[in-house]
Amino acid sequence: MPPVIHLGLAGLVMLFVAACATAPAATDPTPPPRRPDAKTQLEYGNPPPPGPRY
């Protein structure tokens, strides 16, 4: 085979390897905590402050 075909095939193999090597970023499945709206704060009061972080 001519060297051009060898280089083309090597380039394709490198593209496939590079595409498979990158893993997608992991996402956090838990949503952030909801903030109470003004009506809820008036009816139930403000939520307790978060505890101490150690």
Structure tokens at 51: 């505890």
Q: Where are the domains of the chain?
A: 3-44
pLDDT in tens, 1-54: 678 888 889 988 888 888 777 666 777 778 777 777 878 777 887 777 777 877
- The per-residue pLDDT for 22 is 67
- How many Å separate Cα 9 from the centre of its chain? 33
pLDDT of residue 1: 64
pLDDT for the residue 40: 78
Burial of 7 (0-12, 13-18, 19+ CB in 10 A): exposed
Question: Tokens in use for 49?
Answer: 């402050």
What is the predicted pLDDT for the residue at 36? 74
